[in-house]
Amino acid sequence: MSDATSNVRCAAGMIQVILAALCFGGCGQGERGPAPGATSQGISVPSVAASTSVDAPRRSIETAVPAEIALRNFDRTWKAAEKKLQKSGKKGITDLVAVYIAKSSRLGQVSFLPRALEQAEAVVADNPKSAMAHQTLAQALGAVHRFDEAEKALVRAEELGRADDEVRQQRGVLAMALGRYDDAYALLHEHREKFPNAVTWALEGSILGRMGKYDEADTAFAKSEAMYIKASPFVVSWILFERAGMWDRAGDVEQAKRYYRFSLQALPQHAHAVGHLAALLPPAEAIPLLEGILPTSDDPEYRAMLGGVKNEQQAGSGDALIAEAQKGYDELMKAAPLAFADHAGWFYLDVAKKPDLAVEVAEKNLENRKVPEAYELLLAALLASGEKDEACRIADLAAAFKYPTRGMKRMEARAFESCGRKDDGAKLRVDLEAPRAKH
């Protein structure tokens, strides 16, 4: 796929990794997961090369509850929660918040995300002195990327009685989402030491990867996968997706593809894994993956990606899909603008060819979260709109970020070169050509 098409995908919302601690049904024992090449609800499961040994990823996949069973159990959980809400006579219940976030973050059903926040706000309105209600609100606010409000809600939960052990992991994930990686590591590492399990090891792997400590991160993910046996494919898929994303950010495409494929073997409907893997594949392989996710996902990202790939093959053949994506992003930017700013920004820039709108969205995104992906988007948008001096100013700010990604560095180099600071750009190019961490 072209760089433009690939840029439509963005890092998944980091705050939503908290959901991995939940078991969304299907937590039985002993059933086998889908075999490589099998299908689930019409979505083809990418196979991993036969030479791959029976390592921790494959073992966790093969012993997980089959995706079909887990999805049926999840649907029952969702419907039961809806009925509970109707019978309660209330406007919101805690059960539905996690369910709605999961439907968005795992299955790509993004229309449920604003509903999660509505439920959480209603729960707090009904239970203003409940610590758990405020912690649930923090989770929902984080999921829609209203991070400052999420941190305040979490503080309120602590004031009302939530113990440090009960909020530490959530505080760590919020710090990671905001780009405060040292703070995030301190919190997540402490929590993993106190509660060593598959989820805490995976979260430690996630933050280590974002700090560029790829060997340590890979070790943490391997420990996580080895511990998570005979359990939910939702969590198995998430762990493998996070490991794939770590190698993706490191620039190791083959390792990234390997673990994205593993993630989809565990849960073929994992929409984020479909999008990230498709961005790394040639059109012939990307198209069926993206077509398979459209019936179950309303996220405009995948329509935009598929439309872009089709247009690369035949001009105009993907225009209808791109028009659908445009409508979808316009609606989402009204409903939850911060949650979709990164995805919408790349869409407006690379697909819709509206660089000025992309700059506007990217500026709000960077103001909200100082992470490498946000710097990269704004730099790309500024360069496309011809704002070279402003691009250089932002590149200077990005250069001060302690844990840069390769993507951000490439964009910094372009920005410096555009405003005549060729020596600064050349230094970054040298860094980019240096050997990466071995594994």
What digits encode the pLDDT tens for the residues 201-244? 999 999 999 999 999 999 999 999 988 776 788 999 999 999 99
* pLDDT reported for residue 90: 81
Q: How far apart are CA 342 and CA 398, in angstroms?
A: 17
- Of the pLDDT bands very low, low, confident and very high (cuts 50, 70, 90), residue 2 is low
In Å, what is the CA distance from 318 to each residue of 147, 210, 286, 305, 321?
Answer: 35, 34, 14, 9, 5
Q: How far apart are CA 138 and CA 101, in angstroms?
A: 12
- Of the pLDDT bands very low, low, confident and very high (cuts 50, 70, 90), residue 49 is very low
- Helical spans, DSSP H, in 214-318: 214-227, 233-250, 253-266, 271-278, 283-293, 300-313
Write the pLDDT tens digit of every residue in 348-364: 999 999 999 999 999 99
> Six-digit token pair at 292?
């398979």
- pLDDT of residue 185 exceeding 90: yes
Structural contact between residues 111 and 72, judged by C-beta atoms closer than 8 angstroms: no
- Of the pLDDT bands very low, low, confident and very high (cuts 50, 70, 90), residue 433 is confident
Residue indicated by tokens 């905001």: 178
> Six-digit token pair at 282?
């040639």
- Of the pLDDT bands very low, low, confident and very high (cuts 50, 70, 90), residue 383 is very high
Considering the chain, what is the average pLDDT of its residues?
87
Give the residue from 149, 125, 121 showing the smallest Cα distance to 136: 121
For residue 39, give the DSSP letter: E
Q: Residue 258: is it exposed, middle or buried by C-beta count within 10 angstroms (0-12/13-18/19+)?
A: buried
- Of the pLDDT bands very low, low, confident and very high (cuts 50, 70, 90), residue 66 is confident
Q: What is the rounded (10 degree) CA torsion for 127, 132, 138, 140? A: -80
pTM: 0.87
Residue indicated by tokens 């083809």: 44
- pLDDT of residue 53 exceeding 70: no
Structural domains of the chain, with CATH: 9-305 (1.25.40.10), 357-439 (1.25.40.10)
In Å, what is the CA distance from 297 to each residue of 290, 394, 404?
Answer: 10, 35, 32
* pLDDT reported for residue 436: 62
* pLDDT reported for residue 168: 97
- Of the pLDDT bands very low, low, confident and very high (cuts 50, 70, 90), residue 7 is low
* pLDDT reported for residue 224: 94
- pLDDT of residue 22 exceeding 70: no
165-169 long-range contacts, Cβ below 8 Å, gap at least 24?
165/191, 165/194, 165/195, 166/135, 167/135, 169/18, 169/21, 169/200, 169/203
- pLDDT of residue 431 exceeding 70: yes
- Of the pLDDT bands very low, low, confident and very high (cuts 50, 70, 90), residue 284 is very high
Q: What is the mean pLDDT of residues 30-43?
A: 36
Q: CB-side exposure of 186: number of CA atoms within 13 Å?
A: 4
- Of the pLDDT bands very low, low, confident and very high (cuts 50, 70, 90), residue 303 is very high
- pLDDT of residue 5 exceeding 80: no
